[in-house]
Amino acid sequence: MPDTAAIEIRPPETLREFYGLMARTREVRARMVEQYLAGADIAPDDIRSLRNAGASLEATPRSKTDDGYEIVLDGERRITVDLTYEISEIVKDLVLLERGEDALYEHLATLYPGFTSQVDKGVAALAPHAFRALVTDRDGTVNNYCGRYLTSIQSVYNAVFLTRFARACVPHAVMLTSAPLRDGGLVDIATMPRGAFVYAGSKGREYLDQGGTYGSYPIDPAQQQMITRLNTALGELLARPGHEKFGLIGSGLQKKFGQTTIARQDITHSVPEDESRTFLHEVEDLVAALDPREQHFRIEDTGLDIEIILTVGDRGGGLKDFDKGDAVVFLDEALDLGLAEGPALVCGDTSSDVPMVAACAAKNAGSHAVFATVKQDVRDRVSRTTSRSLFVDTPDVLVVILHELSKQGGNG
């Protein structure tokens, strides 16, 4: 029988093809999530597509040192990429789709020691409470960590479990991340149905509400125009021969609110240093041409990433020092979340998420924090911020806790 699946088995040879393949799994998965949530049968072609995508990734040649897979960067040069996230998430999705939720739980229990007891403990601690809102970080918190943003496509099981919680348990669910919102951001890797979550990117300085309407922290229109011109010029620079790779390696191109990031190197130093340095100078020249008197932008070079930062907020504390706690305050007002009216459930995994806990606790003292981390210093920081805290080892434990709570549902 000819394979009619939209995705065939074809290992990606170039980075561009790899990104393209993962983007197609997003389309397939978004469709599956909708069908799954509606209790409908999943289209067999879609399941085959997802299986073929996994087989394509697994058939990619291993690197010589066997620490990853080899993909062409440009011309003859090859780059080693870690595909752990992409492959293991497809495996989990196929377990769910072909064998069901119990089988997926069993699979997860084989991956994580103490999985079941952590889930039971979390459900028991949170079930008695009705939450006004879920305010959660994404990467490392409710989504397993992936080194590349744009291939960290949200899995089917993850989207189903989070959507069920959002619908059954809280009036408002907010995903709040430091990553960009769109144009290569949060919404481009999410597979949940529209309206399940508010998506807030750039540390919460811009968002899409549950109706899909865009909003942002106040910004001067002239400054916004400068950012638009900068991003257009960077797009043209990346379109030049030999430059495409800078949008694909490491951090890639990230258009955040008030700040644009472009990679010039990755952690494995895939790009020769002289070429990387030349690219840095080209970006510096581009910014100097747009902003000859250095009134609008400041460049920070980390050696791997070039950060071009709008300087407007440096005076008067606007954009620069904005943290995720400021974001909570801003979003509560902009979106009418009513965080003072009831406790929030705040989820995170790193220190930069702790200000969300403090801000929600200040709004309502009954707010709870759940952090997915094994790092003791982060756990200590959370415990010092609130007594209503709970810790799990990994994002999969947290999403299963939320899924179990959704079955008890209707407390919001």
Of 96 and 146, which has the nearer Cβ to Mg ion?
146
Minimum distance, C-beta of residue 200 to Mg ion, in the bound complex (Å): 14
Minimum distance, C-beta of residue 73 to Mg ion, in the bound complex (Å): 27
Q: What CA–CA distance (Å, rounded) separates 165 from 32? A: 18
Of 161 and 371, which has the nearer Cβ to Mg ion?
371
Of 139 and 326, which has the nearer Cβ to Mg ion?
139
Structure tokens at 229: 């011109």
Instruction: Say which amino acid occupies 68.
Output: G
Minimum distance, C-beta of residue 351 to Mg ion, in the bound complex (Å): 10
What is the torsional sign of CA 400, 403, 407, 408?
A: positive
Minimum distance, C-beta of residue 347 to Mg ion, in the bound complex (Å): 10
Minimum distance, C-beta of residue 352 to Mg ion, in the bound complex (Å): 8
For 185, the 3-state DSSP assignment is: coil
For 193, the 3-state DSSP assignment is: coil
Which residues contact Mg ion by CB under 5 A?
A: 137, 139-140, 349
What is the torsional sign of CA 9, 13, 17, 22?
A: positive
Q: What CA–CA distance (Å, rounded) separates 355 from 253? A: 27
Task: Return the number of other C-beta atoms located less than 10 Å from residue 340's C-beta.
Answer: 10
Minimum distance, C-beta of residue 160 to Mg ion, in the bound complex (Å): 21
- With CA atoms as reference, report the closest residue to 188 among 149, 155, 219: 149
Minimum distance, C-beta of residue 252 to Mg ion, in the bound complex (Å): 18
The pairing of strands 206-208 and 198-201 is antiparallel
Residues comprising the chain, all counted: 412
From its phi and psi, is residue 228 left (phi > 0), alpha (psi between -120 and 50) or beta?
A: alpha
In the bound state, the residue with its beta carbon closest to Mg ion is 140
Of 52 and 373, which has the nearer Cβ to Mg ion?
373
Of 147 and 338, which has the nearer Cβ to Mg ion?
147
For 174, the 3-state DSSP assignment is: strand
Of 42 and 142, which has the nearer Cβ to Mg ion?
142
Of 178 and 223, which has the nearer Cβ to Mg ion?
178
